[in-house]
Amino acid sequence: MIGKRMTVGLLAALLVVSAVGAGGFPASVLAAGSSDDNDSRVTATAIAVNETTNSTLDSENDSDWYAVDLDEGQGFTAEVVHTNREDPSTAVSFDVYDPSDNRIGEAPFDRPINAYRTSPASNIAYGADVVEQDGTHYIRVEGDEGADYSLTVETDELDQYDPNEQPESATHIESGETVAGTLTGYDRDLYALDLEQGETVNVTGNTSAYLSLWVANSSVPSPMPEDYYFSDNYTVAYTDYMHGPLSFTAHQTGTYYFKVVTNAEESTLGTFFESSPYEMSVDVAGQNNSSPPTDDPDDEERNETPNGTDDSNENKNENDSTEPSSGVDDPERTEESDRTESDESNQSDETDEDSSDNTDDTDDSTSDESDETDKDSSDSTDDTEDETSDESDQSDDADETSDQSDETDEDSSDLSDC
C-alpha cells in the first residue's frame, strides 16, 4: 500500500514539473508579464506594437521589463495608465532604452520631467522619440506596490530625412535647395550646411504650424546635450516662428546646423503627438569663386602680352569678336572690301612719297643752314684773329713808347748831373 502511494506521488511530481517547465514558472505567467519573471532586461517580456499589455507591480521594489522591436526612422510613442489608482499620491513611471542601453525619449516642453511619470493631476504617463537604431528596445515600468497598469506602444511614419536628430546623422543640404519635412512634438530635425567665412545665408520657412528654427556653428558637440534649443555657446541665429526669412553671416568656415523644433509655447500634450508639414529654403550669397594667386612663372608668361602686339591689334580683336558673322561670304561686300583695301594702299604709297620728298627738302635746308652757319663761324673766327693781331701790334707800339720814355729819363738824369 505504501509503495502504491509512493508511485502515485512520483507521477504527480512529474506532472507538475512538466507543467511549469525548466524556468520554474508556468508558460502562461511568462506571457502575461508577471513581476516575478520579467524583473530584468534579460528576462524582459516581448510585446507587439499597437497592442496593450496589462500587469501589476507586486512589491515596492518591483520592476517590469518589456522588449519591443522598432525600425530606424520611425517615431514611437509609449503610454502607461495607472488603472486602479484611488490615491492621487501613488504613481507609476517608465523609462525607454535603445539597443545600446542608452535611455531615450523626448517630452513636451511644459512637462520635461513628469512626462514619463503619472502625477496627482493625471494617472497617465507618456513619452515618445524618433528611433535612431534598428533593433530591440526595452521599457521598464516601476511604481507603488499593488499598482495595476496598462502599457501601449505605437509607431508613426515620419519624413524621409529621419532619423536626423544628431550632428552625425544631420541631413546635408546645399544652397538653393528646398527641403520638405514633417515634424512632431517629439521630433528634432537637424540639417547641415557647409559655409565659407563671409558668406551670407538667407533661410525662408513655410509652415502653418508654430515651429522654431535655430542655427549653430560647428562647435556643436556630438552627441548633443538633451536641450530643446541650441546652447548660447554655439547659437548664431534663431527665429521663434518659422514663417519668414532668417539671415546671418558665417563668421568662420565650417559646417553649420539648422534645427527645426516645435515652438516652446506650443509644445504641450495637445500638440506632442501631432504631425506638422513644413518647407525650408536655403540660399547662400557671397561665394568666392576666384582662383587663388599662383607663383608658377609659366602662368605669368602666359598672362603677359606677346612681343610685337600693340593696342591696335587688341582693339581689332575686340571689334572682330563683336561683329556678327553669317557664316557665308557676300561677293559685293568682298569686292567693296578689296576696293577699300586698294585705295588705302594707294593712299599709303602717296603718303610715303610725300613724306620722302618732305624729308629730302628738310635735309637740303638743314644742309644749307649748316653751311651758312659754318661760313659765318669761319668769318667770325678770322675777325677775331685780326683783332688779336691788332692788339698785338698795339702792344708792340706800347713797348716802343716805353723805350722812348726810358731814353728821355736817362737824358734828364745826365742834365741834372751837370
pLDDT along the chain (418 residues), means of 10: 39 40 38 65 97 95 96 97 95 97 91 83 94 98 97 96 95 97 94 97 93 93 79 90 90 96 87 93 75 43 41 40 38 42 45 43 42 41 42 42 40 36
DSSP assignment letter at 228: S
- The pLDDT assigned to 230 comes to 85
Task: Determine the pLDDT at residue 56.
Answer: 97
Q: What DSSP line would sit under 331-390, residue for residue?
A: HHHHHHHHHHHHHHHHHHHHHHHHHHHHHHHHHHHHHHHHHHHHHHHHHHHHHHHHHHHH
Q: What is the pLDDT at residue 113?
A: 65
11 phi and psi angles, rounded to 5 deg = -65, -40
Per-residue pLDDT, 172: 98
User: pLDDT tens for residues 323-334?
Assistant: 333 333 443 444
Give the C-alpha separation, 129 to 361, whole Å. Answer: 105
Q: Which cell goes with 362? A: 628738310
C-alpha–C-alpha distance, residues 40 and 37, integer Å: 8
Which pLDDT score, from 0 to 100, does residue 365 have? 41
229-258 pLDDT, tens digit per residue, is: 788 889 999 998 888 799 999 999 999 999
For residue 130, give the nearest of 81, 190, 172 by alpha carbon: 190
**pLDDT tens by residue, 33-71:** 444 589 999 999 999 999 999 999 999 889 999 999 999
At residue 247, φ and ψ (nearest 5 deg) are -125, 145
